[in-house]
């Protein structure tokens, strides 16, 4: 999607859509990541790294077009994933049932985009 010129916002929506498909499993995975065997931890980190790369590629185009602020790749992704992980790990603070991503996904994307928009 990033290589085809997809927008950052579209990339973030796609990321949340993928997470939503296995939201409860993913929530437990990130909550317990460092209790997993080292090899499993590396796999999760490798997947996150790939997602980070694609999000940065989409953002880089928008930086060149003057739409968003230039932000270091690690800070861009860590801000995004930190926001998502906070809601997923602390789901009981936000909802009593259902999907965090379905309930808050649009709001989280909007907030993130607002933080980085010029």
Instruction: Give domain status of residue 73, yes or no.
Output: yes
Indicate the average pLDDT of the chain. Answer: 94
Residue 22 domain flag: yes
Convert the pLDDT of each residue in 7-39 to its tens digit.
999 999 999 999 999 999 999 999 999 999 999
In a domain, 1, yes or no: no
**Residue 2 included in any domain:** no
**Which residues span the domain enclosing 51?**
8-116
Residue 50 lies in a domain: yes
Confirm if 86 and 35 have CB atoms less than 8 A apart: no
Domains of the chain: total? 1
- What pTM does this model have? 0.91
Average pLDDT over residues 71-94: 97
* 61 within domain boundaries: yes
56, two tokens: 């940065």
Residue 2's pLDDT band (boundaries 50, 70, 90)? very low
- Across 98-109, b (16+ Cβ under 10 Å) vs e yields eebbeebbeebb
For residue 75, tell me if it sits in a domain: yes
Joined tokens for residue 111: 């907030």
69 occurs within a structural domain: yes
């Amino acid at each position: 999607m990033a290589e085809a010129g997809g927008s950052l916002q579209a990339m973030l929506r796609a990321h949340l859509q993928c997470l939503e498909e296995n939201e409860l499993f993913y929530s437990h995975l990130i909550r317990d990541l460092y209790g997993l065997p080292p090899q499993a931890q590396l796999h999760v980190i490798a997947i996150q790294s790939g997602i980070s790369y694609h999000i940065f590629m989409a953002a880089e185009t928008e930086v060149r077009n003057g739409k968003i602020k230039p932000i270091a790749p690690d800070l861009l992704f860590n801000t995004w994933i930190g926001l998502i992980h906070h809601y997923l790990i602390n789901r009981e603070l936000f909802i009593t049932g259902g999907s965090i991503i379905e309930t808050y996904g649009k709001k989280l994307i909007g907030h993130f985009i607002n933080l980085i928009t010029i």
